[in-house]
Structure 1
Amino acid sequence: MPRGNLIVICVAFVTAMICYQSAAQSRYALMFQQGLRTISEFYVRPVENEDLFDAAMEGLTAPLDQNSVYIAPPRYSNFRRELGQEFGGIGVHVDFDEENREMVIITPLAGAPAYEAGIQAGDVVVAIDGVDLNGEDFDKSLDRLHGETGTSVTLTVRHIGQDDLVDITMDRANIMVESVMGDTHGEGGKWDFHLASNPRIGYIRVDSFGDRTAEDFELALEQVGDDVDGLIIDMRGNAGGYLTAAIQMVDLFIDQGDIVTTRTRNNRIRDIYEASSGGTLVRQDLPVVVMVNRFSASASEIFAAALQDHGRATVVGERSFGKGTVQSIFPLDGNRRAIKITTATYWRPNGSNIHRFPDSKEEDDWGVAPDQGWELELDDETLTKVIKARRLNDVDRTNFANPESATEREVSEEEQVLLDFEDPQLQQAIEVIEEANK
């Protein structure tokens, strides 16, 4: 066959395939329009087209994974404010436990209404405002947490290791989220980024990854300074956030090599994020420990994995959550609505997978495991003590209503026991640094 004829046939075939696919897409779009028009004209009661559209879009994302959803107004504006570290609500990171079909609190944001009311990491939310969440769509349950600033909401929760249910009521608020914290409050109520028990060790706790996290983290590192024996970065309970923030933070520790790779459908590499050359903010001989636990997910796993794979930090604690998928936001309707769908997966610098799929086994590659010899899984009772002790340590105990006296608030005997409690995983992190300085 002449080469010219072959080219014509190939072009015709490709054109036919494109036309076929376009026709198939147009066919489904046409059927959707027909369905919308049929319901609008003939249903026994009037129905708003907007309500039909929202319901249809929810159905469109239903067959996808749990992180792929349609976001309707006003939830989309709340979603954007949350990632911008300012939003209206109660201030919690939540996840859906697919196995038990439950909403689980990953972490309450420090200073937010949920945190102040006593919501704890690991709490199972059974009901919201008396509405049982069993069997309800996860996004509808999330919607119940949102509302106007100043309105109240009651969560019925089950604490870790307990059978009894507890009702906790709080007022929603417009929250400026603090994502980078220290060990205790120092002069003027500002965070002290050194361990109170060992001031020679820097301590930075990162609660989430938002718009200002990387900048605040860099400021915290500057306050820690170079004249320390080591640095502990606590990522326990960090549910993730912006990938860019995690990459910028890793870049402060390494100046060459991959940080994270994203892969799309059919395992194709989409992006390779690399460290920038030109030195690091943190001196290379400083011992660094990253703490993770079962509630550390997404961007916090990327941060820990990158420093671990580059030999720049020792990872201590528990195996992380295993949330290694990338969600992309596609705005609709002039940015009033959006579709959030999983478009890629995260892969570590060493080429290992991060995501824990529904059929993943314990022996499979997923999440971030502590370095050998530094694993320490906490039972429910100890984890509860760690959470309560951390909550007490986060309280600014200086009464600045009267700056002249600056008296300390009284501490109950029960609180003092918790304040004296030693966090086993934190003690392990301290041990890593002490061994490195021998």
Structure 2
Amino acid sequence: MTTKKNASNTVIKKNTGFFISLCLVILLTLLAFNTHVYASSVKELKSQQIDEILFNIHAYYVEDLALQNSDHINYNNKQFERLYSKLDPYSKYLDEHELTSLFDNTNGRYTGIGIEVKNVDEKMTIIDVVNNSPAKIAGVLPGDKIISVNNNSADNRTIDEVATLIRESKFANIDLTVKRDNTKELITFHVARRQINLESATSELLDSGTGYLAINNFSNHTLHEVALQVAALQSHFGYPLKGLVIDLRDNPGGTLKSAVAVSDLFLQSGTIVTTKGRFYDANQAFYAKRGDILKGAPIVVLINENSASAAEILAAALKDNKRATIVGSQSFGKGSVQSLIPLGDGNTALKLTTAKYYTPLGQSIDGIGITPDVAINQTSLSQTNKAVIIKNEQTNSNAQLLTGNLADQQLVKAKQLLSMQ
């Protein structure tokens, strides 16, 4: 499964400031907007670990929590838990497993079954299935509602709890039982967990020399993948693209470094993003260098309520620099940067919010989101639905699919805007 909604992240190497950008795209394998700040392992931390975490919060956290100002901060566990609860939802102690998952996700891979899940009307609903994943091969479909995992009911469980059932199963194969619309019987899939490589970007040809680029997350590979996809589109036509739709819907974000680099592909000049925090290296400004991969061709960017973090950085950079028209619904509003701070022997870490980022016009979108230039609200569409609409296909097998989702109105509007320019 894939957890979507996360942060722009940075690693702090002790005593050397910012060391390398990391992403937090898919910590587990489910769609989750807020990681609960409490980890069960926090209550079991030793005094030395608590002191180390307190020091880092005092030194680097984006807000001054007025910690006890002394060389030795003597907190007992209950006092520490109360302080820890004051951190924002994106700050978290990472145990060895979570830290390993984070590094894997940064490199565009994770171990799971390949589904994206969201709580819809109190039902754990699969909203997308990753291509070439075990779930896709088994026949799991978007819209399926999870009933149980290995005979453990999914009712009244959080997304993290269902993820734990899958991750910590004693068996290599998962029995995933779902309820599918228009079927009376429950369906059980036997799905094997394995390492899945994720595509950051995919593309399709549109009409009249225009292209469609979907960016699914921002990992270490995204810049390379986006450049390759755009080059492939232009190679097909034999001339520069006349316009491009960039689809950032349901994109949870990822690394700050990746968001800046992808933004720079489409800009000739201007500010991309600035970050501000309490310690020196948290205050940075990123600017575009000359060279627009589209040579000025018009861009329409699609966003929705699930577009967050690095996706919002790209959307805001193109919007504020008047490089693109934004279509869709208000974005998520994840305007903070997380840093990864190794703890102890390096097997655990503290993921800590160390800065907030600001759009080129100096606005913070944290808790607010980006307002589209053209507002069109609609429910999320699976990648299958998008592909059908992009290619203007409507065979017998997908006619019923389109009847339920009449059209991807946001994508239709984007294509219309490009045709007018």
For normalisation by structure 1, the TM-score amounts to 0.66
What secondary structure is seen at the aligned counterpart in 2 of 1:233?
A: strand
Provide the aligned C-alpha RMSD in A.
4.2
Structure 2 residue 110 is matched with structure 1 residue 87:
yes
Give the one of 238, 242, 245 matched to 2:258.
Answer: 245
- How far the C-alpha of 1:394 sits from its partner, in A, is 10
**Aligned residue in 2 for 1:281:** 293
After superposition, the Cα gap between the structure-2 partners of 1:269 and 1:347, relative to the gap in structure 1 and judged at 3 Å, is farther
- 1:57-102 Cα distance to aligned partner (Å, 9 max, x none): 98874443322222222232122112211221123556789xx998
1:293 maps onto 2:304 in alignment = yes
1:375 aligns with 2:378: no
Amino acid at match of 1:240: G
Distance 1:152 1:393 in 2: 35
Question: CA 1:368–1:83 in 2, change beyond 3 Å: closer, same or farther?
Answer: same
Change (3 A) 1:154 1:338: farther
Residue of structure 1 aligned with 2:410, choices 414, 420, 425:
425
Paired letter, 2:266: F
Which deviates further from its counterpart, 108-117 or 422-431?
A: 108-117
Once the two structures are TM-superposed, the CA of residue 205 in structure 1 deviates from its matched residue by: 0.9
Secondary structure of the residue aligned to 1:339 is strand
**Is the contact made by 2:218 and 2:255 (CA closer than 8 Å) also made in structure 1?**
yes
Structure ranking higher in helix proportion? 1
Q: Deviations over 1:323-370 (max 9, x none)?
A: 2222221222433222212222222111222221xxxxxxxxx21221
Q: How many Å apart are 1:170 and its aligned residue?
A: 3.0
- Does residue 118 (structure 1) correspond to residue 118 (structure 2)? The answer is no
Structure 1 CA distance, aligned partners of 2:266 and 2:420?
21
Q: Specify which of 223, 231, 239 is matched with residue 214 of structure 1.
A: 223
Structure 1 match to 2:315: 304
Aligned AA for 1:78?
Answer: S
> Aligned-pair distance for 1:376?
1.2
Q: Shift of the alpha carbon at 1:424?
A: 1.7
Partner of 1:13: none
Q: How does 1:166-181 map to 2 (within 5 A)?
A: 170-181=191-202
Equivalent runs, 1:160-239 vs 2, <5 Å = 170-183=191-204, 194-195=205-206, 198=207, 200-225=209-234, 226-239=239-252
Query: In structure 1, the residue corresponding to 2:418 is in which secondary structure?
Result: helix
Q: Does the CA-based 8 Å contact 1:262-1:270 persist in structure 2?
A: yes
Q: Deviations over 1:127-170 (max 9, x none)?
A: 6445456776765544334258982335567899x9x9986653
Aligned equivalents of 2:122, 2:355: Cα separation in 1:
25
Q: Number of aligned pairs?
A: 347
AA aligned opposite 1:343:
T
Residue 318 of structure 1 is aligned with which of 310, 329, 335?
A: 329
- Structure 1 residues 276 and 296, CA gap change in structure 2 (3 angstroms): closer
Q: Distance in 1 between matches of 2:122 and 2:345?
A: 34
Report the 3-state secondary structure (helix = DSSP H, G, I; strand = E; otherwise coil) of the residue aligned with 1:204.
strand
Partner Cα distance (1:423, 1:211) in 2:
30
Aligned counterparts of 1:288 and 1:110: Cα–Cα separation in 2? 27
| Kept in 1: contact 2:119–2:125 (CA 8 A) | yes
Deviation at 1:302, TM superposition (A): 1.0
Matched residues in 2 for 1:66 and 1:127: separation? Answer: 27
Q: 1:24 to 1:149 in 2, by over 3 A?
A: closer
Q: Give the whole-Å Cα distance in 2 for the aligned partners of 1:343 and 1:102.
A: 35
Q: Does 1:330 align with 2:351?
A: no
Q: In the TM superposition, what is the alpha-carbon distance from 1:255 to its structure 2 partner?
A: 2.9
The separation in 2 between residues aligned to 1:105 and 1:273, in whole angstroms, is: 38
Q: Distance between the aligned counterparts of 1:235 and 1:336, measured in 2?
A: 33
| Residues 23 and 278 (structure 1), Cα distance of their counterparts in 2 relative to 1, 3 Å cut | closer
Distance 1:269 1:330, change over 3 A: closer
What is the SS of the residue equivalent to 1:182? strand
Amino acid at match of 1:345: K
Change in CA separation of 1:412 and 1:281 when aligned onto 2, cut-off 3 Å: closer
Deviates more, 1:78-87 or 1:107-116: 107-116
SS at match of 1:289: strand
1:90–1:171: 8 Å Cα contact kept in structure 2?
A: yes
1:271 aligns with 2:278: no
- Counterpart Cα distance in 1 of 2:402 and 2:309: 30
Q: TM-score, normalised by structure 2?
A: 0.69
How far the C-alpha of 1:276 sits from its partner, in A, is: 3.6
Correspondence 1:34-49 to 2 at 5 A: none
In the alignment, residue 370 of structure 1 is paired with which amino acid? P
Match of 1:389 in 2: 385
Q: 1:21 and 2:32 equivalent?
A: no
What letter is aligned with 1:338?
A
Q: 1:350 to 1:118 in 2, by over 3 A?
A: farther
1:22 match: secondary structure:
coil
Structure 2 gap ranges (5+): 1-67
Partners of 1:74 and 1:338 in 2: CA distance: 11
Distance 1:158 1:235, change over 3 A: farther
| Displacement of 1:279 | 2.5
Question: C-alpha distance in 1, partners of 2:114/2:383?
Answer: 16
Q: Offset at 1:288?
A: 0.6
Distance 1:279 1:23, change over 3 A: closer
In 2, Cα distance between equivalents of 1:60 and 1:235: 35
Q: Which of these residues, 63, 69, 72, is aligned with residue 95 of structure 2? A: 72
Cα distance in 2 between the residues matched to 1:159 and 1:343:
43
One-letter amino acid of the counterpart of residue 218, structure 1:
A
In structure 1, distance between residues paired with 2:287 and 2:327: 23
Distance 1:149 1:279 in 2: 52
TM-aligned CA deviation for residue 232 of structure 1: 0.8
Whether the 8 Å CA contact 2:276–2:284 is kept in 1: the answer is: no
Instruction: Quickly say closer, same or farther: Cα 1:387–1:252, change in 2 above 3 A.
Output: closer
Partner of 1:413: 396
Q: Render the CA deviation track for 1:294-336: whole Å, top value 9, x for unaligned.
A: 2211111111111011000011122212222222212224332
